[in-house]
C-alpha cells in the first residue's frame, strides 16, 4: 500500500480561490492522503467553505484556531498535526497539477525533502510568464552556503519525510519557514529537486509571500538584504551546526551587523563565489571582485 501523505494547508481569508485549490488536492492521482487544514481566524467565507468540504470528504482534518497565531506558527501547528509518512505544504490559493504528489513521492528517494517548480499565474489563471525556478536550475552538489544569501526551496513546491521534523522544530517565529526547512535539509545533504512545474502558483494583491504590483516585481534591494539578515540571524543558531560552520555563519552575520565595506566578506565571496551563488553566472578575476565589493557594500 502507498504510504500516507499528509497535506498541510493553512488558511486565512482565502475564500476567493480556496475551492479550486481544495479540488486540485482532492483530485490527485495519489490517493492515500489526508488533508490537514488549520484556519487562523478567517473573517471572510473561508470557514464556511472548509466546513462544507470537511462534511463531504473524510480525508479532511479541519482545525480552527481560537486566536490568530500568525503564518509560521500556523504552519508548525498544521505540520505537527499531520500523521503521514510524508508531508506536503499547500498554499490556499494555488492549483496543483493532478500528478504532483505522485511524482514528488516517486522522486524523493531516501532524501528528507524534495522540491519542484511552479508556474506563476494571475488572479484569472493567466500565465505571468515566470516560474519559481529557472528552467535550467540544477541542485548539483551545492551545500548549505548556497542557502545563506537566497532561497531556492519554496514551501508550496515541497514534499518531505516526517524524519525531518525533529530537525526543523521549532520553526522560528519570524522569517520564512520554507527557507528554514530548505536550509536544514540542505545542511544534512538530504535534499533533491524535480525541476518540473507541478503547481500553478497564484500571484495576486493579497499574496502573503510576494511583493508584486500587477505582473511587475517590485524587488527592492533593501528589502532583499533585510531578508538575508533575518535568515542569517536564524540559521546561525541551528542546533545541529558543526562548530566550524557555526563560526563561519556568525562571522558573516557580524559583518552584516557592522554595515558598509567588509574586507572579510569581500575575500570570502571572491574566493568561494560559486559556493554562495551557484545560480548566478560564472565570474572570474575583476568581474568576481567587483561583484564581491558591491555585495559587501550593499550588505
Residues 154 and 108 in one domain: yes
pTM: 0.92
170-197 pLDDT tens trace: 999 999 999 999 999 999 999 999 999 9
Give the whole-number percent of the chain exceeding pLDDT 70.
Answer: 94
DSSP 111: -
Is 146:186 a contact under the CB 8 Å cutoff? yes
- Coil, strand or helix at 260: coil
Residues 243 and 137 in one domain: no
Q: Does the pLDDT at position 246 exceed 50?
A: yes
Burial class (CB in 10 A: 0-12, 13-18, 19+), 223: exposed
Is 119:156 a contact under the CB 8 Å cutoff? no
Residues 62 and 31 in one domain: yes
Residues 133 and 245 in one domain: no
Give the whole-number percent of the chain exceeding pLDDT 90.
Answer: 85
- Domain holding 177: CATH number? 3.90.550.10
The pLDDT value given to residue 221? 73
Is 204:91 a contact under the CB 8 Å cutoff? no
The pLDDT confidence band at residue 213, using thresholds 50, 70 and 90, is very low
Over residues 10-38, mean pLDDT:
97
The pLDDT value given to residue 9? 97
> Phi and psi (nearest 5°) for 240?
-105, 15
The pLDDT confidence band at residue 216, using thresholds 50, 70 and 90, is very low
Mean pLDDT of the chain: 92
271-293 pLDDT tens trace: 999 999 999 999 999 999 999 99
Residues 226 and 208 in one domain: no
Residues 151 and 244 in one domain: no
- Full domain range(s) for residue 280: 219-298
Amino acid at each position: 500500500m502507498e504510504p500516507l501523505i499528509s497535506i498541510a494547508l493553512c488558511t486565512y481569508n482565502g475564500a476567493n480561490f480556496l475551492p479550486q485549490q481544495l479540488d486540485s488536492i482532492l483530485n490527485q492521482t495519489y490517493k492515500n492522503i489526508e488533508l490537514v487544514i488549520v484556519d487562523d481566524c478567517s473573517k471572510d467565507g473561508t470557514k464556511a467553505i472548509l466546513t462544507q468540504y470537511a462534511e463531504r470528504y473524510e480525508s479532511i482534518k479541519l482545525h480552527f484556531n481560537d486566536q490568530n497565531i500568525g503564518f509560521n506558527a500556523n504552519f508548525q501547528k498544521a505540520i505537527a498535526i499531520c500523521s503521514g509518512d510524508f508531508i506536503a505544504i499547500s498554499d490556499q490559493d494555488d492549483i496543483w497539477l493532478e500528478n504532483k504528489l505522485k511524482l514528488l513521492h516517486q522522486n524523493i528517494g531516501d532524501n528528507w525533502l524534495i522540491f519542484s517548480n511552479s508556474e506563476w499565474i494571475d488572479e484569472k489563471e493567466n500565465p505571468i510568464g515566470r516560474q519559481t525556478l529557472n528552467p535550467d536550475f540544477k541542485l548539483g552538489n551545492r551545500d548549505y552556503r548556497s542557502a545563506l544569501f537566497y532561497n531556492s526551496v519554496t514551501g508550496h513546491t515541497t514534499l518531505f519525510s516526517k524524519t525531518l521534523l525533529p530537525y526543523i522544530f521549532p520553526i522560528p517565529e519570524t522569517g520564512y519557514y520554507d527557507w528554514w526547512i530548505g536550509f536544514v535539509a540542505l545542511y544534512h545533504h538530504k535534499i533533491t529537486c524535480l525541476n518540473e512545474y507541478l503547481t500553478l502558483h497564484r500571484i495576486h494583491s493579497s499574496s502573503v509571500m510576494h511583493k508584486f504590483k500587477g505582473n511587475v516585481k517590485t524587488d527592492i534591494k533593501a528589502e532583499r538584504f533585510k531578508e538575508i539578515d533575518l535568515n542569517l540571524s536564524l540559521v546561525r543558531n541551528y542546533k545541529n551546526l558543526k562548530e566550524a560552520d557555526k563560526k563561519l555563519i556568525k562571522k558573516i552575520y557580524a559583518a552584516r551587523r557592522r554595515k558598509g565595506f567588509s574586507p572579510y566578506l569581500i575575500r570570502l565571496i571572491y574566493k568561494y563565489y560559486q559556493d554562495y551563488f551557484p545560480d548566478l553566472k560564472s565570474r572570474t578575476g575583476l568581474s568576481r571582485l567587483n561583484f564581491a565589493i558591491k555585495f559587501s557594500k550593499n550588505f
